Structure 1
Amino acid sequence: MSEFDLLRLDGVTRRFAGHAALADLNLDIRRHEFIALLGPSGCGKSTALNCLAGLLPLSGGSIWLDERRLDTLPPERRGFGMVFQNYALFPHLSVRRNIAFGLQMRRLPREEIRRRTDEAIRLVRLDEHAAKLPGQLSGGQQQRVAIARAVVVSPSLVLMDEPLSNLDAKLRLEMRTEIRRLHQRLGLTTVYVTHDQEEALSLADRLVVLRDGRVQQIGTPEELHTRPANPHVADFMGFRNLLRARARAEHVAGDQVRIRIEDQTFSGTAMSPVNPGDDIIAAARPEDLTPAEDGLRCVVEVVEYQGREMAVEARTGGGLLLHLRTTARLAPEDPIGLTFKNLLIYKAT
């Protein structure tokens, strides 16, 4: 693997027919880091990955590997490995030959190809399946072949484009662990595209949240989970309750804000400067709503059993729909009072 200290994306922009699918992306990626590009469909995350890979030319900006400029190089000269959403395996080649293909293209000695292919097969635990064709493998096994093919060439960077989206829930969990294990064991540098915030939180050292082609926040999983930079990030990171209110003058003190929701007053923490009288958005996770006799009066509408907890939708007398998770045994049409354990307050824009 060719070592580097820093991969730098400097103002990377990609336009399609005058529309900026990716606008002014600035990002430093350190060696051995696991970076997740996260956001809804159409946010620019796959565009960013394809620009990195060289599959899309830049409309603006540049990409640097230490002091070497990369965006002027074709994909095959960048030295990156890539794992695609659809695996992109050769159906007529065995597992072994699929994995060895990149090494053969580099015209390495036959003995080195055999040794490195054997190591990669053992690494992804496919020893018993090495002679099989991709069509004879499960989805999870095919994904392991794709990963082995990407890492066997000792790339400076591994790019993964939603590699788990075609797997069922159980396999996704297993492969998440496998990808993290390989990243740590091989000392890889990885850029990983996903729309699944739980997947990103569990895998990445840092997350880059994108919306409409622009960066909304870059930070560690803990930073994004606990302190989303704006309501868009909060919404994507699981704050399903986004409530509009107006900050009252006597209720703003530093970063502590008191807001009124219907007939109840609640406290929250301002995540951006809030002035008296500002229109605001209050964000809360479902798990941060708790039943309380003197809380906001609601009527339960929907209850979903989810093992230890219930996912509940309840509506206030004023028509506000709230989402909560609770161990309380509730049923549709039950009256309930709700309060908030943790409210984040943002100035509405």
Structure 2
Amino acid sequence: MPGPSDKAAFSELRLDNVGRRFAGKDALVDLNLTIRAGEFIALLGPSGCGKSTALNCLAGLLPLSSGSIWQDERRIDSLPPEKRGFGMVFQSYALFPHMSVRRNIAFGLQMQRLPRTEIKRRTEEGIRLVQLEEHVDKLPGQLSGGQQQRVAIARAVVLEPSLVLMDEPLSNLDAKLRLEMRTEIRRLHQSLGLTTVYVTHDQEEALSLADRLVVLRNGRMQQIGTSEELHTRPANWHVADFMGFRNIFEAEASRVSGSEVLVRGDGLCLLGTATSEITANDRVKAAVRPEDILVTDSPSGENLIEATVEVVEYQGRELAVEARTPSGLALHLRTERRLAPGDGVTLTVSADRLLVYPLEADDRAAAALVKAGAT
């Protein structure tokens, strides 16, 4: 099973201004995305952001309200799901409970009315790919969750689809199995030369699997880029919040010099790095990852923060710590230091790790309402 058949192969899949509305409300707005053959794309975001809607539009399970979908020069958004040649792996596995592993994997091939010898060849190859040779005659109810997910993946890839769509396929598994299946999915993607679109709300999962990530919020694309790009330079503070910048606080840009910004807020005065155009006196959001806040013994220097440890969580070699500043701002950090609740600490953060974002229009409106309500 070398990969997608020549008949199903394509150079790129393009979503042009794809939109979907439910009862007059936008669930997906102007999604523009080009997927190259062989890419692993993750659609990422919190519940209700539009990622599953986008996947279902791509699969043909939902009609578009606007826009179009193209496979090279062929428009496909008007085609029914079975005519698109895509494989689908669902969160719930969607296996037939009365059929054995072998029959579940062969089902789609039988629906295509392929020759019996071809069905047998592809089915046996699919079983080997997901390493279920010892379980071929079992029913789904006799398998573990991870084994059931392997069956669902095998059933999709034996069809030799031009595109594999996966909708939160690991969310029902325990932590250990999720890690194992992540490796398995990436291995199959690479060995078969698949093109994969993968929906998840787990940013760690997306970072480890995808070539490029698409972050959605309120049905709109916020950023698209590689794992490194999204991890180190989120496009806005909403993306930063979702990508693990647990420390985000509102402040004022009191001084701006090039990309260097001095921010003041919550009793802090810190140097940070502007991510886009900011001018003095602008309201901003400052964001930093827990691993970029360090405990220091230095009594002097820039970006020092005095705080008191409140919560300590043991996480192997590191501790996850929540500390609170005198003004009441909670800060999350990770450290190898042995700290305990009640300890006073001096923290520091490098200016290039403290990212400063302009307060967006909707945030400014919300802040103005809060201020008006308080006066």
The reply on whether 1:347 has 2:347 as its aligned counterpart is no
Q: Which moved more, 1:168-177 or 1:290-299?
A: 290-299
Q: Which moved more, 1:327-336 or 1:260-269?
A: 260-269
Alignment length (residue pairs): 347
Whole-angstrom CA distance in 1 between matches of 2:63 and 2:39: 25
Whole-angstrom CA distance in 2 between matches of 1:336 and 1:17: 53
Whole-angstrom CA distance in 1 between matches of 2:268 and 2:193: 52
Q: Please list, as runs of the form range in 1=range in 2, the aligned pairs for 1:1-349 lying within 5 A after superposition.
A: 1=5, 2-248=8-254, 251-262=255-266, 264-293=268-297, 294=299, 295-341=304-350, 342-349=353-360
Whole-angstrom CA distance in 2 between matches of 1:184 and 1:59: 34
Name the amino acid aligned to 1:334.
Answer: D
Whole-angstrom CA distance in 2 between matches of 1:263 and 1:344: 18
Q: CA RMSD in A?
A: 0.9
Q: Is the 8 A contact 2:230 2:243 kept in 1?
A: yes
Whole-angstrom CA distance in 1 between matches of 2:146 and 2:50: 27
Report deviation, 1:264: 4.7
Report deviation, 1:6: 0.8
Whole-angstrom CA distance in 1 between matches of 2:74 and 2:101: 35
Whole-angstrom CA distance in 2 between matches of 1:45 and 1:11: 15
Q: Is the 8 A contact 1:263 1:296 kept in 2?
A: no
Q: Is the 8 A contact 1:238 1:285 kept in 2?
A: yes
Whole-angstrom CA distance in 2 between matches of 1:320 and 1:265: 13
Report deviation, 1:200: 0.1
Whole-angstrom CA distance in 2 between matches of 1:158 and 1:53: 9
Q: Which moved more, 1:289-298 or 1:323-332?
A: 289-298
Q: Deviations over 1:246-266 (max 9, x none)?
A: 111xx3111111223455532
Taking structure 1 as the reference length, the TM-score comes to 0.98
Q: Is the 8 A contact 1:283 1:345 kept in 2?
A: yes
Q: Deviations over 1:97-125 (max 9, x none)?
A: 00000000000000110011000000110
Unaligned runs of 5+ in 2: 361-375
Whole-angstrom CA distance in 2 between matches of 1:100 and 1:178: 21
SS at match of 1:87: coil
Q: Is the 8 A contact 2:266 2:329 kept in 1?
A: no
Whole-angstrom CA distance in 1 between matches of 2:357 and 2:143: 49
Q: Is the 8 A contact 1:4 1:66 kept in 2?
A: yes
Whole-angstrom CA distance in 2 between matches of 1:263 and 1:211: 31
Whole-angstrom CA distance in 2 between matches of 1:212 and 1:177: 30
Identical pairs, percent: 73
Name the amino acid aligned to 2:202.
Answer: D
Whole-angstrom CA distance in 1 between matches of 2:65 and 2:248: 36
Whole-angstrom CA distance in 1 between matches of 2:265 and 2:48: 34
Whole-angstrom CA distance in 1 between matches of 2:282 and 2:228: 28
Whole-angstrom CA distance in 1 between matches of 2:168 and 2:189: 16
SS at match of 2:327: coil
Report deviation, 1:336: 1.2
SS at match of 2:102: helix
Taking structure 2 as the reference length, the TM-score comes to 0.91
Whole-angstrom CA distance in 2 between matches of 1:207 and 1:299: 37
Question: Structure 1 residues 339, 261: CA separation in 2 closer, same or farther (over 3 Å shift)?
Answer: farther
Whole-angstrom CA distance in 2 between matches of 1:243 and 1:272: 17
Q: Is the 8 A contact 2:101 2:139 kept in 1?
A: yes
SS at match of 2:197: strand
Whole-angstrom CA distance in 2 between matches of 1:308 and 1:15: 48
Whole-angstrom CA distance in 2 between matches of 1:234 and 1:171: 28
Whole-angstrom CA distance in 2 between matches of 1:162 and 1:264: 40
Name the amino acid aligned to 1:107.
Answer: R
Q: Is the 8 A contact 2:251 2:266 kept in 1?
A: no
Whole-angstrom CA distance in 1 between matches of 2:267 and 2:197: 47
